[in-house]
Chain A
């Protein structure tokens, strides 16, 4: 037909590229440490942050050694003693509201930076991460002058200086989870973003300057594991908050034991997503996809174990494969990308290694058909069917786009299998029957349980785990209380030896 506009040999579903422009970013060639309100040189050996989708260098990043950690903690202490602890709650709230608004104003820039540095699709950083960052600051801004209602009695006190170490999967969102409640409660902060994803935190430092937050209230130091270790072990911090692997969390718990530092740990997970035969099936399939393939599976609360009732197993797996075949893997900055890049070569190796073990242990591997780009770190969405409970991929956290499918026959069996893990961070239940959802949820040992949805977050809702998934809660009133002590509780002297 003459009037046919052809898209060439491609199909409509191969939507033309729709990349988000990077021109909104004004990146520096190199970034220093953000200490006492200014960027300063680091004394460790600097490193480069790369884009995991292209392996190209984005910027040179300073590395904080023990001396820099000292300087940062000292700045935070000074800011705590001289300014932040003397401000009224209402005044602290004003700063937090200002930060929240600036995050919204610079939302696109932050989203682009996050996708560039982390590899996550722009639609997730734009529609999930950055809006939640703003929401977290708005929520805790509201708490700043209402601490009497935090559940700790009248006039609860801030703890002092908080040392915070965050992971690379939600770089800016994890920063918000940590910084917002700490500041609302009246603490000052030294925070270390992950080595592979420091970029958005450094742009956030610029936002703090723009908000004219008093110097030293928030200090952002970059570096690797040794920097984090020096920070959490520093004798002059009062609170340690860590999100990351269970192994590191365990080491932190050991090292701070007996020091009088308060600790919250948010660690790994191996969540069960339980689908009953009376589930709304199409929405359950969406929920399974969102549960494990959201953010390339780099989610501690990911629904990595699908527990599906035996009677609908074939149908669900079939629908899942059809759905996964429509996922679009590729350039994280393209607005139509569903699955971005794996954050680092190291993580990619781990995912590959665990997947190979899964295959060797006899599970049926299925990989979604997608073209893998030449450069960068990529792993196509993968399902393992017929996984046994003893299989490595059913027990260890893969932290990648890999789903293990197991079956059950009765609710009791589903509950037993769901709880049969050293972790206990989250779980999902899919059923059209409300009473069943409540009865099952009651018996699951997980900190967060989603019903007929998955991976939904809200600043008002506490988040945290059981068992090896850590302790303490972030979000809501509970998250605030983690940065406060009641007026009647006397604090041990800093650095006191037992």
Chain B
């Protein structure tokens, strides 16, 4: 299938436009592969050393206060359990809308992230706080495309996506086919992302934001992460996301740094801003602040906005709230002074 054109002119819709612009109209599996394999390599030791260096920044007083509030605003408050119920989702939404009942100045989170069938429950619970595709309230993000493994046929993945969008999902967190990626079938992965992006189209012609989960823990090497990041962006992803949270290791600082470097390079090349979402394993304010520093020093602090950076997390919020209370009152409180969702 090497010579097959991936995107015929008829199908060359907006999502694949980036690849056509960059690689050319004769976009084939081969030209895509050549492009991805021509990317500069990643030196693991150097990357990890740089990430560790960024992790030693000391964020104090006013900077810390700003950082804690910013973290809350960037959180996708997440529940992705087999045991999820509408009741659990309502409780999560209540937490998202009012993270700290003891302090009304606490900002709201960016989005709630749930399985596709829980989208109606989330939309209903959010009520007037729901942004409804306008990004002015709390978004509902749904994981789709046979999350977390991605092992389903394309029609199933597309139906999964379209269903969530029809029910009101503002954002779709899709997973890539890691099996196809690891066996070198970049064209297949590319086509699937393009198709899912199309499935994100709403009736009025607008699109739900597409976050592409690379599942970096399964890609294994930094070189693969860099290739997959480029692939996801070329195929039309609005965000590149590290992990499902179901595979260890989930988000790490070096992986996130690497993805931010790709996003920085893409911006330099095209002027377009792509979002990054580390997800899974970020549990403390201290860790989250390291990510903020990494974003600010790699792509610039204009990326510290909900449409360009997110934390996929569940337990992080309460640790940030505890730190925030400490900063406001001067006293350490305990886990009983923040609510469980």
Contacts and interface: CB of A to CB of B under 8 A. Distances in A.
A127 B55 CA distance: 13
Interface string B52-91: 0000111111111111111000000000000000000000
B186 to A, nearest CB: 20
B301 A18 contact: no
A2 to B, nearest CB: 7
Contact of A7 (B50, B62, B107): B62
B40 interface: yes
B67 A12 contact: yes
A13 B301 contact: yes
Interface string B84-120: 0000000000000000000011110000000000000
Contacts of B59: 15-16, 18
A283 B41 CA distance: 9
Interface stretch (A94-102, A140-148, A274-282): A274-282
Contacts of A284: 43, 46
B297 interface: yes
Given A123-B56, A281-B40, A326 B297 contact: yes
B247 interface: no
B278 to A, nearest CB: 18
Contacts of A286: 46, 49-50
Nearest to A338: B53
A5 interface: yes
Contacts of B61: 16
Contacts of A11: 301
Contact of A282 (B42, B45, B64, B68): B42
Contacts of A335: 56-58
A361 B253 CA distance: 44
B201 to A, nearest CB: 32
B154 interface: no
Contacts of B68: 5
Nearest to B68: A5
A282 B47 contact: yes
Contact of B63 (A7, A326, A432): A7
B292 interface: yes
B304 interface: yes
Contacts of A282: 40, 42, 46-47, 50, 261
Nearest to A123: B56
Contact of B47 (A4, A17, A283): A283
Interface string B5-24: 00000000000000000000
Q: Which of B41, B47, B106, B296 has the most CB of A within 10 A?
A: B41
A246 interface: no
Given A17-B60, A18-B58, A335-B58, A283 B66 contact: no
A306 to B, nearest CB: 16
Given A336-B57, A453-B46, A7 B40 contact: no
A31 B58 CA distance: 34
Given A13-B301, A15-B63, A336 B41 contact: no
Nearest to A312: B40
Contacts of B58: 15, 18, 335-336
A59 to B, nearest CB: 28
Interface in A264-307: 278-284, 286-287
B63 A452 contact: no
Contact of B60 (A16, A123, A127): A16
A7 B41 contact: no
Given A5-B65, A15-B63, A452 B43 contact: yes
Contact of A12 (B45, B47, B292): B292
Given A5-B69, A326-B297, A15 B45 contact: no
A4 B106 CA distance: 9
A interface residue count range (under 10 / 10 to 19 / 20 to 34 / 35 or more): 20 to 34
B311 to A, nearest CB: 16
Contacts of B106: 3
Q: Which of A2, A123, A281 has the most CB of B within 10 A?
A: A281
Given A7-B63, A283-B47, A13 B292 contact: no
B271 to A, nearest CB: 15
B105 A2 contact: yes
A122 B49 CA distance: 18
Nearest to B257: A282
B128 to A, nearest CB: 17
Contacts of B69: 3-5
A294 to B, nearest CB: 11
B297 A3 contact: no
A278 B40 CA distance: 7
Interface string A1-30: 111111110011101111000000000000
A4 B70 CA distance: 9
Given A123-B56, A280-B40, A452 B296 contact: no
Interface in A102-139: 123, 127
B41 A15 contact: no
B41 A6 contact: no
B45 A453 contact: yes
A12 B66 CA distance: 8
Q: Which of A2, A15, A278, A281 has the most CB of B within 10 A?
A: A15
Contacts of B104: 3
B62 A8 contact: yes
Interface string B285-297: 0000000100011
Given A11-B301, A280-B40, A286-B50, A3 B60 contact: no
Contacts of A13: 296-297, 301
Contact of A280 (B46, B70, B301): B46
A12 B296 contact: yes
A317 to B, nearest CB: 14
Interface in A31-49: none
A18 B60 contact: yes
B45 A452 contact: yes
A143 to B, nearest CB: 28
Nearest to B50: A286
Nearest to B40: A281
A283 B301 contact: no
Nearest to A289: B50
A3 B63 contact: no
B299 to A, nearest CB: 10
Contacts of A280: 40-43, 46
A7 B56 contact: no
Contacts of B56: 123, 127, 335
Interface in A391-436: 432
Contacts of B60: 15-18
A79 B50 CA distance: 47
A283 B51 CA distance: 11
B40 to A, nearest CB: 4
Contacts of A281: 40
A283 B67 contact: no
A15 B46 CA distance: 25
B43 A12 contact: no
14 contacts: A1-B107, A2-B105, A5-B66, A12-B66, A12-B296, A15-B57, A278-B40, A280-B40, A282-B47, A282-B50, A283-B50, A326-B297, A336-B58, A452-B46
Given A7-B65, A286-B49, 13 more contacts: A7-B62, A7-B66, A11-B301, A13-B301, A15-B57, A16-B61, A18-B60, A279-B41, A280-B40, A280-B43, A282-B46, A336-B57, A453-B46
* Nearest 3 interchain pairs by C-beta: A283-B46, A18-B58, A280-B43
Interface of B: 40-43, 45-47, 49-50, 56-70, 104-107, 261, 292, 296-297, 301, 304
